[in-house]
Amino acid sequence: MKKVTKNAKIEDIEKNVSLPDDQFLTTNQGVKINDDANSLKAGERGATLLEDFILREKITHFDHERIPERIVHARGSAAHGYFELFEDLSAYTKAGFLTDKSRETPVFLRFSTVAGSKGSPDLARDIRGFAVKFYTEEGIFDLVGNNTPVFFIQDAMKFPDLIHSVKPEPDREIPQAASAHDTFYDFVSLTTESLHNHMWAMSDRAIPRSLRMVEGFGIHTFLLVNAKGKSHFVKFHFKPKLGVHSVTWEEAVKINGADADFHRRDLWEAIESGNFPEWELGLQIIPEEDEFKYEFDLLDPTKLVPEELVPVKIIGKLVLNRNPDNFFSETEQVAFHPGHIVPGIDFTNDPLLQGRLFSYTDTQLSRLGSPNFHEIPINRPVNPVHNNQRDAHMRMTVNRGNTAYFPNTIGGGCPHLAKMAEGGFTSYEERIDAKKVRERSTSFSDHFSQPALFYRSLKDWEKNHLANAYIFELGKVNYDSIKGRMLWLLNQIDKELAQKVATGLGMAIPATIDKPINQNIGADADPKRLEPGKVKNYLDKSDALSQEHLPSDTIATRQIAVLVADGFSMKQFKKMTDPLKKEKAVIALIAPHGGKVKCDTGMEHPVTHAIATTESVLFDALYIPGGRKGIDALQKVGKVFKFINESVKYCKAIAFDGEAKELIDKSYAKDFVGDKAIFLNGNAQDFRNAIARHRNWEREPMTEHIPA
């Protein structure tokens, strides 16, 4: 290591400015670090130890980097609702909200993007947070998950590095809410454990049509513990009743320009209109004795359990039925924490989960300014709180009496302890007999098999979108060495995918790479010990990994753009739209002007949007009724054809009635006569069915000639 030289400015040394010398990695106290990738555990698969001062210092500093905005998940939308249990699960757990079917448990669900700031747009290509606060009668249970079943890293020690890499680059503070840049791909290409979740982030899951159409996952493997002390491993799944749907990347870019609050507005308006979003809660339950049954480790947060191996058991539903009264007081001040659990639920030794148990408390202390964040109304449990914690900034509880300690006699021994039979929380008894080590289990080292399974399981249109996402993202990277590493890694996962991306980048797939595959090891560790091997095919494909695995036959809340001008056919309009409105589709009249528009019977109808003030990408389908006068007027408006052409390009359902067929020959719709989602004088039922399918993705390969 170089010493400070005469060339170093004394003011830089005094200000603790980082000097560009050959530096060892150290703690803030100057202690050289031997391993910056693994937390200190009781055995390589054991619990993370509180004495790990390197982990605590690193995460504490990270947690306090932003004030007061959340470092991650800063942009959020939320709603109140309830959870209803279908089946008594007392065979698996003693948690009251999972055993008592007579209860209706209040919930607060916050959706979010991960990388962007509060001011970033809704449709950034990003993972979506899916955090649920259950206000149970035994206390708060927070399930702090995402819309992907896995995470980027295996150990909490790497979380600051991951987020630093994906946040705006520190020298220029760009790009905002985007991962298409050098630092992120430098990190990902050197951290191969991240490849699985990264592939989810490059898929259509990262640009959802609506927050009401995303799956939610608890990510980690937790424990369910019943009244007899028997445990089962469990993974949590939330499956949307509206299905899982996305938009294309081109649409997302346009939507961000037309309405940066698209997702937030969509959620709010659906709830206000009484179309309450709903998810089924499902569990994958695995007996404790099956912990080592699979070719992947249940404690590895970068791995999922395929539903073909362990089916998801649907046990209840979650409904959102009330918008917040105040965004700041509720959506902004809500404090989630994976350490908020209730009797009957417990932790596993997942090293990412173990680190989160420390990090979230530390984060809330910084963001909300006091250990009393639990007294903010949105964070209060519904059951009484009694303990000996006192004072601190913004204390609201007025504690009576002169004792604040236990045990005591002056206060009558209160508050006193609760036995297990009285609902007292006891941790699951797990035998620990291991050496203190800063290592990672070799069972975590398969980094290619599950990304390969994910890719194999996608439909062709999903595969094309994913490959195009990689081409776009890597096309923004300036370093050929980083792009080459990514191509080499993709080739280990799937050769077809790698070749598509390489062709799009105009590069060859390297035969070798210049860095070790896995750099998340200690300085003295054997680099080959955790080197990922070749892809293992323990399952040809998992249909549940495709967006099409949750088909939906509803058109409720779907936005239908209806292009009209004075003189449109009321008969055709009613015949098509009345059945759609009965199924709670939203009909938006788009006219050449605002105010009102007259149909051919002389009736006036309020215009939803003047065509100059809206965009086709904000709607799910397009309908144009006939009427000679109306169609003559529409043909003079250039943006009418933009609406038609974009609806064709983005594979949406389109219906033309009567004279509206003349618009076909003047648009790109003429190239798709016979398409199963484009209708001429069709009936409402056929149009409705096409809308329910979301998109006719079979059209997409033939739309490349249509300008974006």
pLDDT of residue 279: 98
Which residues share a beta bridge with 313? 283
Among candidate residues 654, 630, 665, 645, the one with its CA nearest the CA of residue 706 = 645
Mean pLDDT score, 56-66? 75
pLDDT tens profile 544-558: 999 999 888 999 999
pLDDT of residue 19: 46
| Statement: residue 293 has pLDDT above 80 | yes
Cα–chain center distance at 652: 25
CA 595/CA 659 separation, integer angstroms: 24
CB-CB contact of 480 with 508 (8 Å): no
Band (5; pLDDT cuts 50, 70, 90) = very low
| Statement: residue 10 has pLDDT above 50 | no
Here the tokens at position 300 are 């590895």
pLDDT of residue 387: 85
| Statement: residue 16 has pLDDT above 50 | no
CA 88/CA 453 separation, integer angstroms: 34
Helix (H) or strand (E) holding 387: none
Among candidate residues 310, 304, 248, 264, the one with its CA nearest the CA of residue 285 = 310
pLDDT tens profile 608-658: 999 999 999 999 999 999 999 999 999 999 999 999 999 999 999 999 999
Mean pLDDT score, 275-279? 98
Mean pLDDT score, 229-236? 97
- Is 80 one of the annotated active-site residues of the chain? no
Q: Check 73, 80, 196, 263 and give the catalytic one.
A: 73
Among candidate residues 644, 650, 682, the one with its CA nearest the CA of residue 663 = 644
Band (22; pLDDT cuts 50, 70, 90) = low
Band (124; pLDDT cuts 50, 70, 90) = very high
Here the tokens at position 543 are 């249909």
pLDDT of residue 338: 93
pLDDT tens profile 646-663: 999 999 999 999 999 999
Q: Is 194 left (phi over 0), alpha (psi -120 to 50) or beta?
A: alpha
Q: Is the peptide bond before 68 cis (omega within 30 degrees of 0)?
A: yes
Is residue 195 helix, strand or coil? helix
pLDDT of residue 66: 62
pLDDT of residue 612: 97
Band (283; pLDDT cuts 50, 70, 90) = very high
Q: Is the peptide bond before 407 cis (omega within 30 degrees of 0)?
A: yes
| Statement: residue 1 has pLDDT above 60 | no
Q: Check 146, 147, 349, 520 and give the catalytic one.
A: 146
Write the CB contacts of 444 (distance below 8 Å, at least 6 apart in sequence).
Answer: 154, 193, 297, 299, 300, 302, 530
| Statement: residue 49 has pLDDT above 50 | yes
pLDDT of residue 394: 84
Is residue 155 helix, strand or coil? coil
Look at 12-26, 103-117, 311-325, 354-368 and tell me which has the smallest mean pLDDT: 12-26
Mean pLDDT score, 677-703? 96
Who wins on pLDDT, 412 or 311? 311
Which residues share a beta bridge with 48? 41
- Is 146 one of the annotated active-site residues of the chain? yes
Who wins on pLDDT, 387 or 697? 697
pLDDT tens profile 361-392: 888 888 888 888 889 999 999 988 888 888 88
Domains and CATH numbers, the chain: 52-182+193-379 (2.40.180.10), 460-535 (1.20.1370.20), 551-702 (3.40.50.880)
Q: Mean pLDDT across the chain, nearest whole number?
A: 92
pLDDT of residue 78: 98
